[in-house]
Amino acid sequence: MKYRFCGNSGLQLPLVSLGLWHNFGDVDDFSLATDMILRAFEQGITHFDLANNYGPSPGSAETNFGKILHSHLKAHRDEMVVSSKAGYPMWSGPYGDGGSRKYLMASIDQSLKRTGLDYFDIFYTHRYDAQTPLEETIQALIDIVKQGKALYIGLSRYPADKARQAYEMMDAQHVRCLIFQDKYNLLYRAPEAELMPLNATMGKGFIVFSPLAQGVLTNRYLNGIPENSRVAKSHGFLKKTDITPEVLAKVQKLNELAQKRGQTLAEMSLAWLLNKKEVTSVIVGASSVKQLQDNIDTIQNIDFAAEELQRIDLLLRGPDSNR
């Protein structure tokens, strides 16, 4: 594994991190989940990304991660960076969703209990909540760090102007924001306009979620929809309607390019992200140890010739996909 400093902080993250959004819940195979986490750690993936609601059922990915950590990796806690988040609906009533102090404070306590951890390395506000004053959300995060429940703060899915305000507020209280987490991949390039330049200028790490567009930017859907794929699962967030003929035509061309580079399409898609100096790490998902290993193998070649990058830009020109 290779590591990059997270913005201008002293914390290094692995180029490839593992996310537990899908495939680690109580509907999934626990022994496979264990194998993937152990393989990841063995291969130098030190960063595991969680959220309160990952499952299904919501919370079960944290519970399973905690079980695996305590049975196999307890001695290695200090070698890991574990993150969690709160922001999306988690429990009923007005205090289980959004960005209120009430929700964030209760949620981190619940997440710590489920995982059995004493603290999270990074705690995120999972989304911008326009109904809660920004100051309330950010003050809650600052206080979470001051209480020792998290070491660093992260923002996810914030508009650029709100992210800037949040950074300034944290700086004023000497609890810097470490990292920004956003969707970014070959089919979805919106962060290039504002968020990536902002984070680079302000010295924040930028970590990518859904770097493979939930599996679309791999060979997964090139020959139809496999039975065990995310699209085929009723709880999967990727829908059949996302795999349009236009998207598939682009993916097919990207796949040809990847083959010429001697990489799988998954490897090339991740390499394209990691080729950018603004990207600290990519958080991959995986439903098998083989997929995970393929994603880790990406780091063997993240270089592109200028003509390859031009070819990619050219073939992707057209309407943005929404994954």
Ligand X SMILES: NC(=O)c1ccc[n+]([C@@H]2O[C@H](COP(=O)([O-])OP(=O)(O)OC[C@H]3O[C@@H](n4cnc5c(N)ncnc54)[C@H](OP(=O)(O)O)[C@@H]3O)[C@@H](O)[C@H]2O)c1
Compute the least distance from the CB of residue 226 to ligand X, in Å.
7
Among 84, 107, 218, 321, binds ligand X (CB under 6 A): 218
CA distances from 25 to 38, 50, 90, 171 (A): 16, 11, 15, 36
Compute the least distance from the CB of residue 307 to ligand X, in Å.
25
CB 214 within 8 A of CB 238: yes
- For residue 245, report the phi and psi dihedrals to the nearest 5 degrees: -60, -35
Compute the least distance from the CB of residue 172 to ligand X, in Å.
25
> Is residue 286 at the binding interface for ligand X, with CB under 6 A as the rule?
yes
- Give the whole-angstrom CA distance, residue 310 versus residue 226: 32
Place of tokens 């102090």: 101
Burial classification of residue 257, based on how many CB atoms lie within 10 Å of its CB (0-12 exposed, 13-18 middle, 19 or more buried): middle
Contact segment (CB under 6 A) with ligand X among 1-9, 168-176, 243-251, 288-296 equals 288-296
Burial classification of residue 38, based on how many CB atoms lie within 10 Å of its CB (0-12 exposed, 13-18 middle, 19 or more buried): middle
CB 242 within 8 A of CB 323: yes
- Give the whole-angstrom CA distance, residue 174 versus residue 170: 6
Crossing angle (nearest 10°) for helices 245-261 and 306-316: 170
> Is residue 7 at the binding interface for ligand X, with CB under 6 A as the rule?
no
Crossing angle (nearest 10°) for helices 134-146 and 101-115: 40
CB 281 within 8 A of CB 17: yes
Contact segment (CB under 6 A) with ligand X among 7-15, 33-41, 168-176, 281-289 equals 281-289
Q: Contacts with ligand X: how many residues (CB under 6 A)?
A: 31
Among 115, 255, 287, 321, binds ligand X (CB under 6 A): 287
Give me the 38-77 binding string for ligand X, x by CB under 6 A, dash otherwise.
Answer: -----------x----------------------------
Give me the 123-142 binding string for ligand X, x by CB under 6 A, dash otherwise.
Answer: ---x----------------
Of 12-31, binders to ligand X (CB under 6 A) are 19-23
For residues 107 and 287, which CB has a smaller minimum distance to ligand X in the complex? Answer: 287
Give me the 238-277 binding string for ligand X, x by CB under 6 A, dash otherwise.
Answer: ----------------------------x-----------
CB 207 within 8 A of CB 280: yes
Reported as type and span, the H/E element at residue 49 is: strand 47-49
In angstroms, how far is the first alpha carbon of the chain from the final one? Answer: 28
Look at residues 236, 295, 239 and name the one whose alpha carbon lies nearest to residue 23.
236
For residues 39 and 147, which CB has a smaller minimum distance to ligand X in the complex? Answer: 39
> Is residue 181 at the binding interface for ligand X, with CB under 6 A as the rule?
yes
> Is residue 230 at the binding interface for ligand X, with CB under 6 A as the rule?
yes
Contact segment (CB under 6 A) with ligand X among 34-42, 218-226, 244-252, 308-316 equals 218-226
Contact segment (CB under 6 A) with ligand X among 96-104, 159-167, 273-281, 282-290 equals 282-290
> Is residue 215 at the binding interface for ligand X, with CB under 6 A as the rule?
yes
> Is residue 209 at the binding interface for ligand X, with CB under 6 A as the rule?
yes
- Give the whole-angstrom CA distance, residue 214 versus residue 284: 9
For residues 167 and 221, which CB has a smaller minimum distance to ligand X in the complex? Answer: 221
Tokens of 301: 């070649």
For residues 45 and 283, which CB has a smaller minimum distance to ligand X in the complex? Answer: 283
Interface residue list for ligand X (CB under 6 A): 19-23, 49, 126, 156-157, 181, 209-215, 218-220, 229-230, 266, 283-287, 291, 294-295
